[in-house]
Amino acid sequence: MIELHNVSKKYEQFTAIDHVTISIQSGEIFGLIGPSGAGKSTLLRLINLLEIPDSGTVNVDGQILTQLSQTALYKARKSIGMIFQHFNLLANKTVYDNINISLKLANYPKEQRRERVEECLRFVALENMRDSYPRQLSGGQKQRVAIARALANKPRILLCDEPTSSLDPTTTAEILAVLQSINNTLGVTIVIVSHEMNVIKSICERVCVLADGQVYETVGIVPKGVKSINRHPQTFVDELQRGEQSDA
Amino acid sequence: MPENLLLYQTEIIKAILETFMMVGASVLAAIIVGLPVGTLLYSTQKGRLAENRYIYIVVSLIVNSIRSFPFLLLVVFLIPFTRLLLGTAIGTTAAMVPLAIIAIAHYSRLVEQSLLDVPRGVIEAAKSMGASVSDIIVKFLFVEARSGLVLGLTTSTISFISYSTIMGVVGGGGIGDFAIRYGYQQFKTDLMMYMIIIMIILVQSIQIIGTTIAQKIDKR
Protein backbone atom coordinates (compact mmCIF):
# COMPACT_ATOMS: atom_id res chain seq x y z
CA MET A 1 0.00 0.00 0.00
CA ILE A 2 1.30 3.43 -1.00
CA GLU A 3 0.03 6.49 0.78
CA LEU A 4 1.01 10.01 -0.05
CA HIS A 5 -0.34 12.36 2.56
CA ASN A 6 -0.59 16.06 1.84
CA VAL A 7 2.63 16.15 -0.18
CA SER A 8 3.87 19.31 -1.85
CA LYS A 9 6.85 20.00 -4.06
CA LYS A 10 8.04 23.39 -5.27
CA TYR A 11 10.77 24.29 -7.75
CA GLU A 12 11.77 27.85 -7.01
CA GLN A 13 8.53 29.72 -7.79
CA PHE A 14 6.73 26.87 -9.55
CA THR A 15 4.52 24.57 -7.49
CA ALA A 16 4.75 21.16 -9.14
CA ILE A 17 2.69 19.27 -6.58
CA ASP A 18 0.24 21.07 -4.33
CA HIS A 19 -1.00 19.28 -1.22
CA VAL A 20 -1.78 15.94 -2.83
CA THR A 21 -3.14 13.00 -0.90
CA ILE A 22 -3.53 9.66 -2.69
CA SER A 23 -3.59 6.09 -1.64
CA ILE A 24 -2.76 3.14 -3.87
CA GLN A 25 -3.82 -0.39 -2.89
CA SER A 26 -1.44 -3.33 -2.98
CA GLY A 27 -1.80 -5.34 -6.15
CA GLU A 28 -3.62 -2.76 -8.21
CA ILE A 29 -2.62 -1.07 -11.43
CA PHE A 30 -2.94 2.62 -10.76
CA GLY A 31 -2.76 5.25 -13.47
CA LEU A 32 -1.71 8.88 -13.31
CA ILE A 33 -2.84 10.99 -16.22
CA GLY A 34 -3.04 14.67 -17.02
CA PRO A 35 -1.75 17.30 -19.41
CA SER A 36 1.99 17.94 -19.52
CA GLY A 37 3.09 20.03 -16.59
CA ALA A 38 0.33 18.63 -14.41
CA GLY A 39 2.90 17.01 -12.15
CA LYS A 40 2.45 13.33 -13.07
CA SER A 41 6.13 12.45 -13.23
CA THR A 42 6.95 14.48 -10.14
CA LEU A 43 4.22 12.72 -8.20
CA LEU A 44 5.57 9.33 -9.31
CA ARG A 45 9.07 10.31 -8.18
CA LEU A 46 7.75 11.29 -4.79
CA ILE A 47 6.80 7.67 -4.20
CA ASN A 48 10.43 6.46 -4.14
CA LEU A 49 11.71 9.84 -3.03
CA LEU A 50 13.67 10.53 -6.20
CA GLU A 51 12.04 13.88 -5.57
CA ILE A 52 11.95 14.83 -1.93
CA PRO A 53 8.70 16.50 -0.91
CA ASP A 54 8.87 19.90 0.76
CA SER A 55 6.09 18.82 3.08
CA GLY A 56 3.81 15.84 3.66
CA THR A 57 4.58 12.16 4.21
CA VAL A 58 5.19 9.21 1.93
CA ASN A 59 4.27 5.84 3.33
CA VAL A 60 5.13 2.69 1.38
CA ASP A 61 4.03 -0.61 2.88
CA GLY A 62 3.98 0.83 6.36
CA GLN A 63 7.40 2.41 6.09
CA ILE A 64 7.42 6.20 6.25
CA LEU A 65 10.05 6.98 3.63
CA THR A 66 10.13 10.68 4.42
CA GLN A 67 11.49 9.87 7.88
CA LEU A 68 14.21 7.46 6.84
CA SER A 69 17.94 8.07 7.03
CA GLN A 70 19.82 8.18 3.73
CA THR A 71 21.05 4.57 4.06
CA ALA A 72 17.64 3.26 5.01
CA LEU A 73 16.19 5.08 2.02
CA TYR A 74 18.73 3.41 -0.31
CA LYS A 75 17.57 0.10 1.10
CA ALA A 76 13.88 0.92 0.75
CA ARG A 77 14.32 1.92 -2.89
CA LYS A 78 15.66 -1.55 -3.66
CA SER A 79 12.19 -2.98 -3.22
CA ILE A 80 10.59 -0.40 -5.49
CA GLY A 81 11.33 -0.99 -9.17
CA MET A 82 11.19 1.79 -11.71
CA ILE A 83 11.17 2.08 -15.50
CA PHE A 84 11.45 5.17 -17.66
CA GLN A 85 10.41 6.62 -20.99
CA HIS A 86 13.98 6.55 -22.27
CA PHE A 87 14.83 3.20 -20.64
CA ASN A 88 17.99 4.58 -18.99
CA LEU A 89 20.07 1.44 -19.50
CA LEU A 90 23.84 1.46 -19.19
CA ALA A 91 24.97 1.65 -22.82
CA ASN A 92 28.39 0.21 -21.98
CA LYS A 93 27.04 -2.91 -20.31
CA THR A 94 25.48 -5.98 -21.83
CA VAL A 95 21.85 -6.90 -21.27
CA TYR A 96 22.99 -9.44 -18.70
CA ASP A 97 25.11 -6.94 -16.77
CA ASN A 98 22.40 -4.31 -16.89
CA ILE A 99 20.11 -6.66 -14.99
CA ASN A 100 22.85 -8.00 -12.77
CA ILE A 101 23.77 -4.53 -11.52
CA SER A 102 20.54 -4.16 -9.60
CA LEU A 103 21.24 -7.50 -7.91
CA LYS A 104 24.76 -6.40 -7.05
CA LEU A 105 23.50 -3.16 -5.55
CA ALA A 106 21.03 -5.12 -3.45
CA ASN A 107 23.70 -7.57 -2.27
CA TYR A 108 21.73 -10.43 -3.73
CA PRO A 109 23.57 -13.70 -2.91
CA LYS A 110 26.30 -14.02 -5.49
CA GLU A 111 25.76 -17.66 -6.41
CA GLN A 112 22.08 -17.03 -7.12
CA ARG A 113 22.53 -13.95 -9.30
CA ARG A 114 23.10 -15.75 -12.56
CA GLU A 115 20.00 -17.84 -12.14
CA ARG A 116 17.93 -14.81 -11.19
CA VAL A 117 19.12 -12.79 -14.20
CA GLU A 118 18.25 -15.68 -16.52
CA GLU A 119 14.87 -16.01 -14.90
CA CYS A 120 14.15 -12.32 -15.47
CA LEU A 121 15.36 -12.56 -19.05
CA ARG A 122 12.97 -15.44 -19.65
CA PHE A 123 10.13 -13.45 -18.16
CA VAL A 124 10.61 -10.69 -20.73
CA ALA A 125 11.47 -13.21 -23.47
CA LEU A 126 14.99 -11.96 -24.13
CA GLU A 127 17.07 -15.04 -23.24
CA ASN A 128 18.87 -14.91 -26.57
CA MET A 129 19.90 -11.26 -26.13
CA ARG A 130 21.86 -11.65 -22.91
CA ASP A 131 25.22 -10.72 -24.43
CA SER A 132 23.97 -7.88 -26.62
CA TYR A 133 24.52 -4.22 -25.84
CA PRO A 134 21.55 -1.83 -25.62
CA ARG A 135 22.62 -0.18 -28.90
CA GLN A 136 21.81 -3.42 -30.69
CA LEU A 137 18.25 -3.60 -29.36
CA SER A 138 14.98 -2.09 -30.54
CA GLY A 139 13.07 0.30 -28.32
CA GLY A 140 10.69 -2.40 -27.16
CA GLN A 141 13.55 -4.75 -26.33
CA LYS A 142 15.32 -2.01 -24.37
CA GLN A 143 12.19 -1.40 -22.35
CA ARG A 144 11.91 -5.12 -21.64
CA VAL A 145 15.51 -5.16 -20.40
CA ALA A 146 14.63 -2.20 -18.17
CA ILE A 147 11.62 -4.14 -16.89
CA ALA A 148 13.79 -7.17 -16.19
CA ARG A 149 16.25 -4.94 -14.33
CA ALA A 150 13.45 -3.41 -12.28
CA LEU A 151 12.03 -6.86 -11.44
CA ALA A 152 15.31 -8.59 -10.66
CA ASN A 153 15.25 -7.66 -7.04
CA LYS A 154 11.67 -8.90 -6.58
CA PRO A 155 10.08 -5.53 -5.82
CA ARG A 156 6.51 -5.27 -4.58
CA ILE A 157 5.97 -2.06 -6.48
CA LEU A 158 6.81 -1.06 -10.02
CA LEU A 159 6.79 2.62 -10.95
CA CYS A 160 6.43 3.32 -14.67
CA ASP A 161 7.20 6.77 -16.03
CA GLU A 162 5.73 7.09 -19.53
CA PRO A 163 6.91 3.54 -20.28
CA THR A 164 5.48 3.43 -23.80
CA SER A 165 5.75 7.06 -24.86
CA SER A 166 8.71 6.53 -27.15
CA LEU A 167 7.39 3.28 -28.63
CA ASP A 168 5.19 2.54 -31.63
CA PRO A 169 1.65 1.13 -31.11
CA THR A 170 2.64 -2.51 -31.66
CA THR A 171 5.50 -2.31 -29.20
CA THR A 172 3.33 -0.37 -26.78
CA ALA A 173 0.87 -3.27 -26.74
CA GLU A 174 3.73 -5.70 -26.17
CA ILE A 175 5.05 -3.72 -23.19
CA LEU A 176 1.58 -3.29 -21.72
CA ALA A 177 1.07 -7.03 -21.95
CA VAL A 178 4.30 -7.56 -20.02
CA LEU A 179 3.21 -5.09 -17.34
CA GLN A 180 -0.18 -6.76 -17.13
CA SER A 181 1.40 -10.16 -16.61
CA ILE A 182 3.76 -8.80 -13.96
CA ASN A 183 0.71 -7.63 -12.08
CA ASN A 184 -1.21 -10.86 -12.62
CA THR A 185 1.46 -13.45 -12.02
CA LEU A 186 3.71 -11.70 -9.52
CA GLY A 187 1.13 -9.56 -7.76
CA VAL A 188 3.30 -6.47 -8.13
CA THR A 189 1.57 -3.13 -7.57
CA ILE A 190 2.00 -0.98 -10.66
CA VAL A 191 1.81 2.79 -10.81
CA ILE A 192 1.87 4.07 -14.35
CA VAL A 193 2.23 7.63 -15.58
CA SER A 194 1.16 8.30 -19.13
CA HIS A 195 -0.27 11.05 -21.26
CA GLU A 196 -1.74 8.41 -23.60
CA MET A 197 -5.36 7.71 -22.74
CA ASN A 198 -5.29 4.33 -24.51
CA VAL A 199 -2.43 3.10 -22.37
CA ILE A 200 -4.20 4.09 -19.18
CA LYS A 201 -7.56 2.67 -20.29
CA SER A 202 -6.16 -0.68 -21.34
CA ILE A 203 -4.60 -1.79 -18.04
CA CYS A 204 -5.46 0.54 -15.16
CA GLU A 205 -8.07 -0.22 -12.54
CA ARG A 206 -8.02 3.18 -10.93
CA VAL A 207 -6.87 6.42 -12.45
CA CYS A 208 -5.99 9.70 -10.87
CA VAL A 209 -6.43 12.74 -13.09
CA LEU A 210 -3.99 15.50 -12.21
CA ALA A 211 -4.21 19.17 -13.10
CA ASP A 212 -1.87 21.95 -12.00
CA GLY A 213 -0.24 19.81 -9.36
CA GLN A 214 -3.51 18.82 -7.73
CA VAL A 215 -5.79 15.80 -7.89
CA TYR A 216 -8.68 16.67 -10.16
CA GLU A 217 -10.47 13.38 -9.70
CA THR A 218 -9.76 9.70 -9.07
CA VAL A 219 -11.87 7.29 -11.08
CA GLY A 220 -12.29 3.54 -10.94
CA ILE A 221 -12.49 1.93 -14.38
CA VAL A 222 -12.69 -1.52 -15.91
CA PRO A 223 -9.49 -2.08 -17.86
CA LYS A 224 -10.16 -2.70 -21.54
CA GLY A 225 -7.33 -5.16 -21.82
CA VAL A 226 -4.35 -5.02 -24.12
CA LYS A 227 -5.34 -5.24 -27.75
CA SER A 228 -2.88 -7.12 -29.87
CA ILE A 229 -2.23 -5.07 -32.93
CA ASN A 230 -2.30 -6.40 -36.44
CA ARG A 231 1.11 -5.89 -37.97
CA HIS A 232 0.01 -6.55 -41.52
CA PRO A 233 1.19 -3.75 -43.84
CA GLN A 234 -2.26 -3.64 -45.38
CA THR A 235 -3.55 -2.07 -42.16
CA PHE A 236 -1.30 0.94 -42.79
CA VAL A 237 -2.55 1.21 -46.36
CA ASP A 238 -6.15 0.97 -45.22
CA GLU A 239 -5.68 3.58 -42.60
CA LEU A 240 -3.94 5.97 -44.99
CA GLN A 241 -6.69 5.64 -47.54
CA ARG A 242 -9.38 6.02 -44.98
CA GLY A 243 -7.75 9.30 -43.93
CA GLU A 244 -7.70 10.47 -47.54
CA GLN A 245 -11.39 9.85 -48.00
CA SER A 246 -12.41 11.61 -44.84
CA ASP A 247 -10.25 14.58 -45.80
CA ALA A 248 -11.84 14.82 -49.21
CA MET B 1 72.63 5.88 -39.66
CA PRO B 2 73.58 9.60 -39.50
CA GLU B 3 76.77 10.04 -37.50
CA ASN B 4 75.45 12.67 -35.07
CA LEU B 5 72.75 10.24 -33.94
CA LEU B 6 75.35 7.57 -33.29
CA LEU B 7 77.69 10.00 -31.62
CA TYR B 8 75.06 11.17 -29.13
CA GLN B 9 73.34 7.79 -28.79
CA THR B 10 73.75 7.53 -25.00
CA GLU B 11 72.61 11.10 -24.37
CA ILE B 12 69.61 10.63 -26.61
CA ILE B 13 68.55 7.42 -24.90
CA LYS B 14 68.98 9.11 -21.54
CA ALA B 15 66.87 12.06 -22.72
CA ILE B 16 64.12 9.74 -23.96
CA LEU B 17 64.08 7.90 -20.63
CA GLU B 18 63.87 11.18 -18.75
CA THR B 19 60.92 12.25 -20.85
CA PHE B 20 59.24 8.91 -20.19
CA MET B 21 59.78 9.29 -16.45
CA MET B 22 58.42 12.81 -16.35
CA VAL B 23 55.42 12.07 -18.53
CA GLY B 24 54.81 8.80 -16.67
CA ALA B 25 54.72 10.63 -13.35
CA SER B 26 52.30 13.16 -14.80
CA VAL B 27 49.99 10.44 -16.09
CA LEU B 28 50.03 8.71 -12.71
CA ALA B 29 49.24 11.96 -10.90
CA ALA B 30 46.44 12.64 -13.38
CA ILE B 31 44.85 9.26 -12.72
CA ILE B 32 45.40 9.02 -8.98
CA VAL B 33 44.56 12.63 -8.07
CA GLY B 34 43.12 14.25 -11.20
CA LEU B 35 40.33 11.70 -11.61
CA PRO B 36 39.00 12.15 -8.05
CA VAL B 37 39.36 15.94 -8.26
CA GLY B 38 37.49 15.98 -11.57
CA THR B 39 34.80 13.79 -10.08
CA LEU B 40 34.53 16.21 -7.17
CA LEU B 41 34.19 19.13 -9.59
CA TYR B 42 31.42 17.25 -11.37
CA SER B 43 29.50 16.10 -8.32
CA THR B 44 29.54 19.36 -6.38
CA GLN B 45 28.08 21.29 -9.29
CA LYS B 46 24.58 22.72 -9.10
CA GLY B 47 21.94 20.04 -9.54
CA ARG B 48 24.42 17.13 -9.44
CA LEU B 49 25.06 14.24 -7.07
CA ALA B 50 26.52 16.06 -4.09
CA GLU B 51 25.82 19.69 -4.79
CA ASN B 52 28.03 21.94 -2.70
CA ARG B 53 28.61 25.45 -3.90
CA TYR B 54 31.53 26.21 -1.61
CA ILE B 55 33.55 23.12 -2.41
CA TYR B 56 32.94 23.65 -6.11
CA ILE B 57 34.02 27.29 -6.04
CA VAL B 58 37.17 26.60 -4.03
CA VAL B 59 38.32 23.58 -6.06
CA SER B 60 37.44 25.24 -9.33
CA LEU B 61 39.37 28.37 -8.35
CA ILE B 62 42.47 26.35 -7.46
CA VAL B 63 42.33 24.38 -10.70
CA ASN B 64 41.84 27.55 -12.75
CA SER B 65 44.67 29.35 -10.98
CA ILE B 66 47.11 26.53 -11.68
CA ARG B 67 46.06 26.49 -15.29
CA SER B 68 46.40 30.29 -15.59
CA PHE B 69 50.16 30.19 -15.04
CA PRO B 70 52.33 30.09 -18.12
CA PHE B 71 53.90 26.71 -17.38
CA LEU B 72 57.45 28.04 -17.27
CA LEU B 73 56.42 30.48 -14.53
CA LEU B 74 54.63 27.75 -12.60
CA VAL B 75 57.83 25.69 -12.56
CA VAL B 76 59.85 28.62 -11.22
CA PHE B 77 57.12 29.62 -8.78
CA LEU B 78 57.02 26.09 -7.37
CA ILE B 79 60.77 25.83 -6.77
CA PRO B 80 60.51 26.56 -3.00
CA PHE B 81 57.66 24.05 -2.67
CA THR B 82 59.58 21.37 -4.56
CA ARG B 83 62.63 22.00 -2.40
CA LEU B 84 60.52 21.70 0.73
CA LEU B 85 59.07 18.44 -0.54
CA LEU B 86 62.16 16.72 -1.93
CA GLY B 87 65.08 18.69 -0.50
CA THR B 88 66.07 19.79 -3.99
CA ALA B 89 64.42 21.58 -6.87
CA ILE B 90 66.85 20.36 -9.49
CA GLY B 91 66.82 17.16 -11.54
CA THR B 92 64.37 14.82 -13.20
CA THR B 93 62.66 13.76 -9.97
CA ALA B 94 62.21 17.36 -8.87
CA ALA B 95 60.80 18.20 -12.29
CA MET B 96 58.01 15.73 -11.65
CA VAL B 97 56.50 17.97 -8.96
CA PRO B 98 55.33 20.89 -11.15
CA LEU B 99 54.46 18.39 -13.89
CA ALA B 100 52.26 16.40 -11.52
CA ILE B 101 50.51 19.56 -10.35
CA ILE B 102 49.68 20.80 -13.83
CA ALA B 103 48.68 17.24 -14.77
CA ILE B 104 46.11 17.11 -11.99
CA ALA B 105 44.66 20.49 -12.91
CA HIS B 106 44.60 19.66 -16.61
CA TYR B 107 43.04 16.21 -16.41
CA SER B 108 40.50 17.07 -13.72
CA ARG B 109 38.76 19.51 -16.07
CA LEU B 110 38.58 16.87 -18.78
CA VAL B 111 37.17 14.36 -16.28
CA GLU B 112 34.52 16.87 -15.23
CA GLN B 113 33.58 17.37 -18.88
CA SER B 114 33.30 13.66 -19.67
CA LEU B 115 31.15 13.01 -16.62
CA LEU B 116 28.82 15.85 -17.58
CA ASP B 117 28.13 13.97 -20.81
CA VAL B 118 26.56 11.02 -19.00
CA PRO B 119 22.78 11.28 -19.43
CA ARG B 120 20.94 12.27 -16.27
CA GLY B 121 18.47 9.43 -16.87
CA VAL B 122 21.15 6.85 -16.14
CA ILE B 123 21.83 8.49 -12.79
CA GLU B 124 18.14 8.61 -12.03
CA ALA B 125 17.85 4.89 -12.79
CA ALA B 126 20.81 4.23 -10.50
CA LYS B 127 19.16 6.16 -7.69
CA SER B 128 15.91 4.30 -8.21
CA MET B 129 17.83 1.05 -7.68
CA GLY B 130 19.03 2.33 -4.31
CA ALA B 131 22.56 3.17 -5.40
CA SER B 132 24.53 5.38 -3.00
CA VAL B 133 26.57 8.31 -4.26
CA SER B 134 29.76 6.23 -4.40
CA ASP B 135 27.91 3.39 -6.17
CA ILE B 136 26.65 5.87 -8.75
CA ILE B 137 30.13 7.26 -9.38
CA VAL B 138 31.95 3.95 -9.65
CA LYS B 139 29.31 1.62 -11.10
CA PHE B 140 27.44 4.02 -13.36
CA LEU B 141 29.26 7.28 -14.14
CA PHE B 142 32.72 5.81 -14.74
CA VAL B 143 31.25 2.97 -16.78
CA GLU B 144 29.28 5.25 -19.05
CA ALA B 145 31.99 7.92 -19.33
CA ARG B 146 34.90 5.53 -19.78
CA SER B 147 35.72 6.26 -23.41
CA GLY B 148 35.62 10.01 -22.76
CA LEU B 149 37.90 9.51 -19.77
CA VAL B 150 40.40 7.60 -21.91
CA LEU B 151 40.30 10.19 -24.69
CA GLY B 152 40.75 12.95 -22.13
CA LEU B 153 43.77 11.17 -20.66
CA THR B 154 45.19 10.83 -24.16
CA THR B 155 44.84 14.57 -24.80
CA SER B 156 46.32 15.28 -21.38
CA THR B 157 49.29 12.95 -21.93
CA ILE B 158 50.15 14.72 -25.15
CA SER B 159 50.07 18.05 -23.33
CA PHE B 160 52.30 16.59 -20.61
CA ILE B 161 54.91 15.70 -23.26
CA SER B 162 54.85 19.28 -24.39
CA TYR B 163 55.11 20.56 -20.80
CA SER B 164 58.01 18.21 -20.12
CA THR B 165 60.11 19.79 -22.87
CA ILE B 166 60.79 22.92 -20.84
CA MET B 167 61.93 21.09 -17.73
CA GLY B 168 65.53 21.79 -18.76
CA VAL B 169 65.23 25.02 -16.76
CA VAL B 170 65.35 23.00 -13.55
CA GLY B 171 67.70 20.36 -14.89
CA GLY B 172 64.93 17.91 -15.60
CA GLY B 173 66.44 16.84 -18.88
CA GLY B 174 64.34 15.07 -21.47
CA ILE B 175 64.04 15.17 -25.23
CA GLY B 176 63.12 18.86 -25.37
CA ASP B 177 66.07 19.86 -23.24
CA PHE B 178 68.42 17.80 -25.40
CA ALA B 179 67.05 19.41 -28.56
CA ILE B 180 67.63 22.89 -27.15
CA ARG B 181 71.09 22.29 -25.74
CA TYR B 182 72.58 20.31 -28.59
CA GLY B 183 70.35 21.09 -31.54
CA TYR B 184 69.84 24.80 -30.96
CA GLN B 185 72.65 26.04 -28.78
CA GLN B 186 75.36 23.97 -30.51
CA PHE B 187 73.89 24.58 -33.99
CA LYS B 188 73.38 20.87 -34.68
CA THR B 189 70.15 21.48 -36.55
CA ASP B 190 69.94 17.85 -37.68
CA LEU B 191 69.86 16.69 -34.06
CA MET B 192 67.01 19.08 -33.35
CA MET B 193 65.12 17.70 -36.32
CA TYR B 194 65.63 14.14 -35.08
CA MET B 195 64.27 15.11 -31.68
CA ILE B 196 61.22 16.68 -33.30
CA ILE B 197 60.69 13.49 -35.29
CA ILE B 198 60.90 11.42 -32.10
CA MET B 199 58.30 13.71 -30.50
CA ILE B 200 56.00 13.37 -33.50
CA ILE B 201 56.26 9.58 -33.39
CA LEU B 202 55.62 9.62 -29.65
CA VAL B 203 52.54 11.84 -29.93
CA GLN B 204 51.17 9.89 -32.88
CA SER B 205 51.56 6.58 -31.07
CA ILE B 206 49.87 7.85 -27.94
CA GLN B 207 46.98 9.28 -29.91
CA ILE B 208 46.52 6.07 -31.90
CA ILE B 209 46.62 3.93 -28.76
CA GLY B 210 44.20 6.25 -26.95
CA THR B 211 41.73 6.41 -29.80
CA THR B 212 41.83 2.66 -30.34
CA ILE B 213 41.19 1.87 -26.68
CA ALA B 214 38.42 4.47 -26.47
CA GLN B 215 36.68 2.97 -29.48
CA LYS B 216 37.04 -0.55 -28.17
CA ILE B 217 35.43 0.17 -24.85
CA ASP B 218 32.69 2.39 -26.29
CA LYS B 219 29.56 0.29 -26.71
CA ARG B 220 27.17 3.22 -27.01
Q: What is the percent of chain B where pLDDT is above 70?
A: 100
Q: Find the mean pLDDT for residues B68-86.
A: 95
pLDDT of res. A248 = 45
- Could you tell me if residue A162 is inside a domain? yes
For B143, nearest residue in chain A (alpha carbons): A92
- Could you tell me if residue A132 is inside a domain? no
CATH number at residue A69: 3.40.50.300
In 3D, which of A116, A223, A145, A150 has the Cα closest to residue A180? A223
- Could you tell me if residue A117 is inside a domain? no
Beta-carbon separation of B135 and A133 below 8 A: no
Contact B121/A at CB under 8 A: yes
Collect all residues of chain A within an 8 Å Cβ-Cβ radius of residue B135.
Answer: 105
d(CA A40, CA A213): 8
pLDDT of res. A244 = 61
d(CA B162, CA B176): 8
- B82 falls in which pLDDT band (50, 70, 90)? very high
- Examine the pLDDT at B116 and tell me if it is beyond 80: yes
- Examine the pLDDT at B1 and tell me if it is beyond 60: no
What are the pLDDT digits (tens) for A99-109? 999 999 999 99
Per DSSP, B170 falls in state G
Length of chain B: 220
- Examine the pLDDT at A247 and tell me if it is beyond 60: no
Angle at the Cα of A20 from the Cα atoms of A17 and A25, rounded to 5 degrees: 125
What are the pLDDT digits (tens) for A13-54? 899 999 999 999 999 999 999 998 899 999 999 999 999 999
- Could you tell me if residue A159 is inside a domain? yes
Angle at the Cα of A135 from the Cα atoms of A109 and B107, rounded to 5 degrees: 80
What are the pLDDT digits (tens) for A134-171? 999 999 999 999 999 999 999 999 999 999 999 998 89
- Could you tell me if residue A103 is inside a domain? no
Domain count of the fold of chain A: 1
A102-132 as b/e: b if 16+ CB within 10 A? bbbbbebeeeebeebbeebbebbebeebbeb
Nearest-Cα distance to chain A for B66, in Å, is: 34
Q: Please report the ipTM that was assigned to this predicted complex.
A: 0.90
B67 neighbors B61 (Cβ within 8 angstroms): no
What are the pLDDT digits (tens) for B202-219? 999 999 999 999 999 999
Beta-carbon separation of A82 and B218 below 8 A: no
A117 neighbors A126 (Cβ within 8 angstroms): no
Mean pLDDT for chain B?
95
Mean pLDDT for chain A?
93
Size of interface A-B (CB pairs under 8 A): 71
Which pTM was predicted? Answer: 0.90
Which residues touch B119 (CB under 8 Å, ≥6 apart)?
Answer: A86, A88, B144
Fold designation for B22-173: MetI-like fold (1.10.3720)
Residue A63 lies in domain: 2-91+148-247
pLDDT of res. A29 = 97
d(CA B82, CA B98): 8
